[in-house]
Structure 1
């Protein structure tokens, strides 16, 4: 497990011309099943379990697109004028997993798509753990992967094409790539070697507790 965690890395595979379509459906289903063992604290609000075909109480959803779907989505984005890296990623991907998290319904006049509550924070953290599980499972199988913030895949139109409900919030677009990338460009993540060591992000705590009270008043 330690070796898999260290081996996981960002690999962006960018194809100017679409790569041949390969079938990774069964493998993706394996990855999703493993990812689903992520920890979560609270069940999601009922609005997320009473509509649609996905009725689990976990605070994440994975929307899966195979290689043929990735190529079709690429064409739709290009047709509307998208010239960013997303169409090039879709041209190379064996699969796309749109990972969303499920916020609690907002109350009153709260601004934004979700309220900054501890429970929502826990939902995001749980969904992030599920995403990491999926990426590690992909790495263990030798599958290149990239956790993207989504770019053009975040907008209402693109989510509508994929049938993603508006009440869900995209946490990441997870690209899975074939072993043979042909002449496509492969770009590594820019921050991998800049994270420092454990001493840069961890510390042993020294407690500074208040003096204990004498129960006898002495």
Structure 2
């Protein structure tokens, strides 16, 4: 079926995304992470990650409300960081003791990393947690962002900030698979090349989970 431009804009609008995200609130997600994203591709790694002592973290999945179709804000991390240097990521980081919820942590980190003021952001749900082999239990916080915000990247953490159409990221034809050996184990993961950008790893795993939960 060929979908027209107006139909595509409606299907991948921020309004439609908000409704899809809100519709899953209340659904059990405590163990749902095992059934989504690249966790399904790496059953042995999943068992190992469950046994690790993981640090709680949160990332913001910022979906920008545009009339021609929603966009997702992503960052290019600097090459000076100790973990995931140079990779494409959602804004986010560790949940501090003062953070009363993953939502508060994700909003705080987004403001610290890219200058996104919380007043422009509406949180609309969560995805199942993502367990990373680098020691984090990540809660993806879904959000809708209204235009009018100013982006100011923190040069200590972020090299660049850019946007990708939601329609591109929610198209399974753009979800390629790759693998590489890491710590003696072959790890399978999704990759989503977008122009000169190479989205992979945790970020691609979360995007794939977003597709499976809300759009598949």
The TM-score normalised by the length of structure 1 is 0.27
Task: With a CA cutoff of 8 Å and minimum separation of 6, indicate the structure with the bigger relative contact order.
Answer: 1
Q: Which has the higher strand share?
A: 2
Q: Which has the higher helix share?
A: 1
